[in-house]
Amino acid sequence: MSTQVTISALERKRRGLLKRVAGLLPFLGGSLVLVGRVCGYHNCACAKGKKHPTYYVTWKEKKKTRTLYIPKDMLKEVKEWVREYERLREIIKKMNEVQRHILRRYVTEKRYKTKKRM
Ligand SMILES: [Zn+2]
């Protein structure tokens, strides 16, 4: 009996990862950036240096960094989207590992079976 993980165990792990994908909530890829903004009103506190905290989401598109303003009342939700995207990335990373593992195991199991027959 081999101590190595079997292909069927890896396939079980793979099914578990797919279930986690299906259970995801809406997600958004990108980074949240906090910028102090000046609104332009001369009487406003921001004119005296107390800038308005403003959130943006940034992401890469065709090697360029893109930026999108996040309305204040959507900030909490957008933060959840970005967190959920990190969860998706973690699942993708694990799936890649499992798939590569299956490929490797398939080759070694096949070799083992061939040897036994010889
Ligand atoms: Zn202002």
> Near ion ligand 1, which residues have CB within 5 Å?
39, 44, 46
* pLDDT, tens digit, 9 for 90 and up, residues 22-59: 999 999 999 999 999 999 999 999 999 999 999 999 99
- HEC string for 13-78: HHHHHHHHHHCCCCCCCCEEEEEEECCCCCCCHHHHCCCEEEEEEEEEECCEEEEEECCHHHHHHH
Spacing, Cα 35 to ligand 1 middle (Å)? 13
Average pLDDT over residues 100-113: 84
Taking the model in full, what pTM does it have? 0.79
Spacing, Cα 33 to ligand 1 middle (Å)? 19
Spacing, Cα 37 to ligand 1 middle (Å)? 8
Spacing, Cα 60 to ligand 1 middle (Å)? 29
* pLDDT, tens digit, 9 for 90 and up, residues 66-89: 999 999 999 999 999 999 999 999
pLDDT tier at 107, thresholds 50, 70, 90: confident
CA distance 52 to 35: 8
**pLDDT tops 70 at residue 4:** yes
CA distance 23 to 43: 49
